[in-house]
Amino acid sequence: MHDHAHHQDQSVSTLRLAFFLNVAFTLTEIVGGILTGSIAILADAVHDLGDSLALGLAWWFEGIARNRPANERFTYGYRRFSLLASLLNGVVLTAGSTLILTHAIPRLLDPQPSHAAGMIGFAIVGVLVNGWAALKTGRGSTMNESVVSWHLLEDVLGWVAVLCGALVMQFTNWWWIDPLLAIAIAAFILFNIVRRLWKIAKLFLQVAPEGIDVDLLQKELAELDGVEGVHHLHIWSLDGEHHVATTHVSIAGDADPRAIKADIRSRLATSNFDHVTVEIDLDDEDCSLG
C-alpha cells in the first residue's frame, strides 16, 4: 500500500515538474520567436502551449483521481472531466494553429529574413529541455505519464526539424524554409486535433470502446456455465480507459445467480470494465427488453 502511494506521489511530482518546465519554455519560445523573426518558433510555441495544457490537466486530474472519490453528484467519479479538458485544449490549439497559418502562408509567398543563429540556439535548447522531460515522464508507471511522454517526444522531433531548417538558412538565403516549417507544424497540430476531437465525440456519444468486439463479448458471456442467454448488453467508456457495462442475463432455474454474476464481472474485468451491472432474468420471467 505504501509503495503504491509512493508511486502516485512520484507520478504527480513528475507531471508537476514537466508542466512548469514546459510553461517556462513556452513563454521563452514566444519571446524568442518574436526576437528572431521566426514564425516556425512561434508555431512550435503553440505546440508547446498545447502540451503545457495537457501536462497541467494531467497533473490536475492525477490529483483529482486520487483525492476525490465518487459522490452523490458525480456517481461515476471525476474521470469524465478529462473529456471536457481535452475539448478545451483542442479549442485553444485550433485557435492558435489557425492564427499561425494566417501569418505563415503570406510569409511563404513573400519570405522574410529570420535570425538563423538565434533559431539554432533555441532549437538546441528545445531538443534538450523536451528530451529531458520526455525521458523523465517516460520512466513513469501511469497512463498519464506515458501519454505526456509521447507528447514531449513529438516536441523533440519538431525542434529537430527547426534545427535542421535553421542550419540550412544559416548558410543559404532560403528564408521560405521558416514559414514552410511553421505551416507543417500547424498542419500537424490541426491533424492531431481532428483525430482527438473525433475520439472525444465518440466518448460523449457513448460509442463502444475501441478494441472491444461487442458481438464476440456477448457470445462469450452467453457460453458461461448456467447462462442461457444474454441480451440488452450496453457498453461505453468514461474516459477511453475505464469502461461501463450493463446487461440482462437469462439463467436456468437451478443456476446460482451469485456465481454467474461473479463469472461475468471476472470476464469483463480483463477489458478494463470498472462498473458492471448484471440484471438476472430467471427462466420463468418474460423480459420486455429481450
Supply the CATH number for residue 231's domain.
Answer: 3.30.70.1350
Whether residue 163 sits in one domain with residue 60: yes
Count structural domains, the chain: 2
Range of the domain at 222: 214-281
| Shared domain check, 126 and 92 | yes
Q: What contacts 235, CB < 8 A, 6 or more positions away? A: 208, 209, 212, 214, 217, 243, 244, 245, 273
* Residue 81 neighbours by CB under 8 Å, 6+ apart: 61, 64
* Residues 188 and 89 placed together within one structural domain of the fold: yes
**In whole numbers, what is the pLDDT of the chain averaged over residues?**
81
What's 244's DSSP letter? E
Which 8-state DSSP code applies to residue 75? T
Q: Is the pTM of this model over 0.75?
A: no
> Which of these three, 177, 204, 231, is where a domain ends?
204
- Residue range 100-122: average pLDDT? 88
Predicted confidence band at 43 (pLDDT cuts at 50, 70, 90)?
confident
Element (H, E) at 138: helix 116-138
pLDDT bucket at 261, cuts 50 / 70 / 90: very high
pLDDT of residue 285: 61
> Based on the domain organization, do 198 and 94 belong to the same domain?
yes
Predicted confidence at residue 241, as pLDDT, reads 80
Asked if 147 and 97 touch (Cβ cutoff 8 Å), the reply is no
Say if residue 136 is in the same domain as residue 269: no
Model confidence pLDDT, tens digit, residues 10-40: 656 666 777 787 788 888 888 888 888 888 8
The reply to whether 181 falls in a domain is: yes
Report the 10 Å Cβ neighbour count for 201.
12
Coil vs helix vs strand at 233: strand
Q: What pairs with residue 230 in β-bridges?
A: 249
| pLDDT > 70? residue 143 | no
Residues 61 and 159 both lie in one domain: yes
